[in-house]
């Protein structure tokens, strides 16, 4: 009995990109960009790894459905952007030092900060997305999602010196626009008000201005929602309308504290 995927003739190109090879490629590219590891003390190793990364990318592009005649153009285009990607990421790294008192060294950020890794992979995946490379940008973003809990769509637009602290549970949608010098904490959602398929080609996600801080678990929805420059969005707020510049938006809740001795009602626990 034939497997149904073959009888349906889905795999016209033969195979799909190998997930493990894609994941290994982005991990090795990240290490190559920042020369992580003692082996990079040798320049010959650096050049050999560069050629190896190019060869692997070509195989991934072919299995993603890119015509062989176009592969070299895609690879050259990404090569041309490698320096600008590295410069952008160095600015992101500096922002972490500026805003996070827990950051002790550059090496610590490179190997132990999930937010920085998520930003790095986003900036690479975004270049591939803009070049209209099929499949690979989404595979890269979903790899980071699974590894860090940070879900940034490669189609999102993110400015310079982006700072993610902790990061777990962050969601940034495809048409979101984030300005420069934005700080974002765990659990933040930049999402859509509607998930109708016929609205796939319109702007569905919010625009965040420059110098904005968004604290934990804030939810900001809608393609027409704009957060003005310099605003601070407090934790746990729910926003579906635009916010002016230099605004402070916060959710006010009340917590009652009593001593156990004076507690008016008994607490009974049954396990």
For the chain, what is the total number of helices (H) and then of strands (E)?
A: 7, 14
CATH number at residue 225: 2.160.10.10
> Model confidence over 197-210: pLDDT tens digits?
777 789 999 999 99
My answer on whether 163 and 147 are in the same domain is: no
Are both 118 and 170 inside the same structural domain?
no
Six-digit token pair at 249? Answer: 């938006």
- CA angle 50/55/58 to nearest 5° reads 125
Question: What pLDDT is stored for residue 11 in this prediction?
Answer: 45
Percent of the chain at pLDDT > 90 equals 82
Give the dihedral sign, CA 31/171/208/133. Answer: positive
Rounded-to-integer distance, Cα 233 and Cα 229, Å: 11
CATH number of residue 78's parent domain: 1.10.3130.10
pLDDT in tens, 202-250: 999 999 999 999 999 999 999 999 999 999 999 999 999 999 999 999 9
Last residue in a domain, options 111, 135, 151: 151
Do the domain assignments include residue 179? Answer: yes
For residue 269, pLDDT beyond 60:
no
Per-residue confidence at 268, pLDDT binned at 50, 70, 90?
Answer: low
User: Last residue of some domain: 105, 124, 151?
Assistant: 151
One domain, residues 105 and 206: no
Q: pLDDT per residue over 19-63, tens digit each?
A: 999 999 999 999 999 999 999 999 999 999 999 999 999 999 999
- Judgement on whether residues 23 and 52 belong to the same structural domain of the protein: yes
Residue at 43 is within a domain? yes
Residue 33 lies in a domain: yes
CA distances from 148 to 32, 152, 167 (A): 20, 11, 8
Specify whether 168 is located in the same domain as 75.
Answer: no
Domain annotation covers residue 187: yes
Same domain flag for 146 and 163? no
Q: Where are the beta strands (DSSP E) in 169-236?
A: 171-172, 177-178, 183-185, 189-191, 207-208, 213-214, 219-221, 226-227, 232-233
List, in sequence order, the alpha helices (H) in the chain.
4-7, 19-34, 43-64, 68-99, 106-112, 114-130, 136-148
Q: Tell me, yes or no, whether 78 and 129 share the same domain.
A: yes
Answer yes or no: is pLDDT of 89 > 60: yes
The answer as to whether 264 is a domain residue is no
Is the same domain home to 164 and 55?
no
Residue 103 has pLDDT above 70, yes or no: yes
145 with 167, same domain: the answer is no
The verdict on residue 263 lying in a domain is: no
pLDDT at 7 over 50: no
Q: How many domains does the chain have?
A: 2
Distance from the Cα of residue 93 to its chain's centroid: 15
Domain containing residue 233: 156-247
Does 253 reside within a domain?
no
Residue with the bigger pLDDT between 15 and 5: it is 15
Q: Are residues 57 and 87 in the same domain?
A: yes
**pLDDT score recorded for residue 253:** 80
């Amino acid at each position: 009995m034939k497997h149904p995927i073959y009888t349906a003739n889905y795999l016209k190109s033969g195979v799909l990109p190998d997930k493990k090879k894609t994941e290994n490629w982005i991990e090795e590219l990240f290490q190559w960009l920042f020369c992580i590891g003692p082996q990079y003390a040798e320049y010959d190793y650096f050049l050999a790894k560069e050629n190896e990364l190019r060869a692997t990318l070509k195989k991934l592009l072919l299995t993603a459905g890119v015509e062989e005649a176009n592969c070299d153009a895609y690879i050259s285009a990404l090569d041309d952007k490698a320096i600008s990607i590295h410069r952008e990421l160095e600015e992101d790294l500096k922002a972490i030092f500026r805003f996070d008192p827990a950051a002790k060294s550059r090496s610590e950020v490179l190997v132990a900060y999930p937010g920085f890794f998520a930003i790095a992979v986003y900036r690479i995946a975004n270049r591939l997305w803009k070049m209209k490379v099929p499949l690979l940008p989404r595979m890269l973003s979903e790899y980071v999602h699974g590894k860090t809990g940070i879900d940034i769509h490669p189609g999102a637009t993110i400015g310079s010196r982006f700072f993610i602290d902790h990061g777990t549970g962050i969601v940034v949608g495809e048409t979101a626009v984030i300005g420069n010098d934005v700080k974002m904490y765990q659990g933040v959602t930049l999402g859509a008000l509607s998930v109708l398929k016929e609205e796939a080609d319109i702007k569905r996600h919010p625009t965040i201005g420059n110098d904005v801080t968004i604290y934990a678990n804030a939810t900001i929805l809608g393609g027409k929602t704009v957060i003005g420059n310099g605003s601070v969005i407090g934790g746990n707020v729910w926003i579906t309308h635009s916010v002016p510049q230099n605004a402070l938006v916060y959710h006010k809740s009340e917590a009652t504290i009593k001593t156990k001795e004076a507690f008016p009602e008994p607490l009974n626990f049954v396990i």
